[in-house]
Amino acid sequence: MNLTANVIGATGLVGSQLVKQLLINESFEKVRIFVRRPSAFQHPKLDEKVVDFANQATWGKDLIGDILFSALGTTVKQVGSKEKEYEVDYTFNLNFATTARQNGLPVYVLVSSVGANPRSSVFYSRMKGQLDEAVMKLGFTRTVIIRPSILDGNRSKKRLAESIAIKAGHFMTRFIFKKYRPIKDSIVARAMVNAAVKSDEIPSKAIFTADEIFRLANL
């Protein structure tokens, strides 16, 4: 298919799995990643851009091709405040999505979160829901939003609370709320790739939540 993919959030849990899968997928001839500092990825198809996410002049002209994948996100613990988290999770994401649409990219695939709701009383869920709502209005030929449950994978920095939640989630969802069982980072990444290349099976606007992501990954 000779597609060019653009990825933000390429060094995170899901993003790194996504980049690995894109690099070995024959449908893609170029994988362009936008990062704050040089990554460890090396591949003939890789085009790495070290940019300032807050400065569009450092990345806007390079955001070209066929698809924008976003796995960009952070936590209050990592950046120190809700305001900084909002800047990364909402503002940076929306700026990239808006520029991608202006530059003519037809497909946008975003990792959001289960429970995303623009009217939620919970800050994180409200922020994610507001972003989902905003990008759906941009007018891409296809917009796909992935809302996974607890992410399971090998994090560079272990988080005790998340480790406990993953173990508890695997146990509890054996019996109840099965669709909210923890999901591997590699499965979410595979679902994202399928969302981009399985055009005949994906609506022009689609949201996949919890157990629906497993089905998307297996298309």
Per-residue pLDDT tens over the stretch 147-206 = 999 888 565 555 545 444 444 444 444 544 566 788 999 999 999 999 999 878 899 999
The domain spans of the chain are 3-156+183-217
Q: Cα 202 to chain center, whole Å?
A: 17
Please give the Cα distance from 215 to 219 (Å, whole number).
7
Side chain identity at 204, as an amino acid letter?
Answer: S
Decide if 67 contacts 4 (C-beta within 8 A): yes
| Residue 11 near residue 35, CB atoms below 8 Å | yes
What Rg do the C-alpha atoms of the chain give, in angstroms? Answer: 16
| Whether 193 contacts 181, CB under 8 Å | no
Cα(112)–Cα(155) distance, rounded to whole angstroms? 18
Q: What is the mean pLDDT of residues 129-151?
A: 96
pLDDT at 213: 95
Question: What values do phi and psi take at 67, rounded to 5?
Answer: -145, 140
Going by the DSSP 8-state scheme, the letter that residue 201 receives in this structure is G
The residue among 174, 122, 112 whose CA lies nearest residue 149 is: 112
pLDDT score at 153: 59
Return the CATH architecture of domain 3-156+183-217: 3-Layer(aba) Sandwich (3.40)
- Give every CB contact of residue 105 below 8 A, 6+ residues apart in sequence: 6, 63, 64, 65, 66, 67, 68, 140
pLDDT tens readout for residues 4-41: 999 999 999 999 999 999 999 999 999 999 999 999 99
Identify the residue whose tokens are 């070290």: 50
pLDDT of residue 176: 47
Instruction: Give the list of residues 6+ apart from residue 57 with CB closer than 8 angstroms, or none.
Output: none
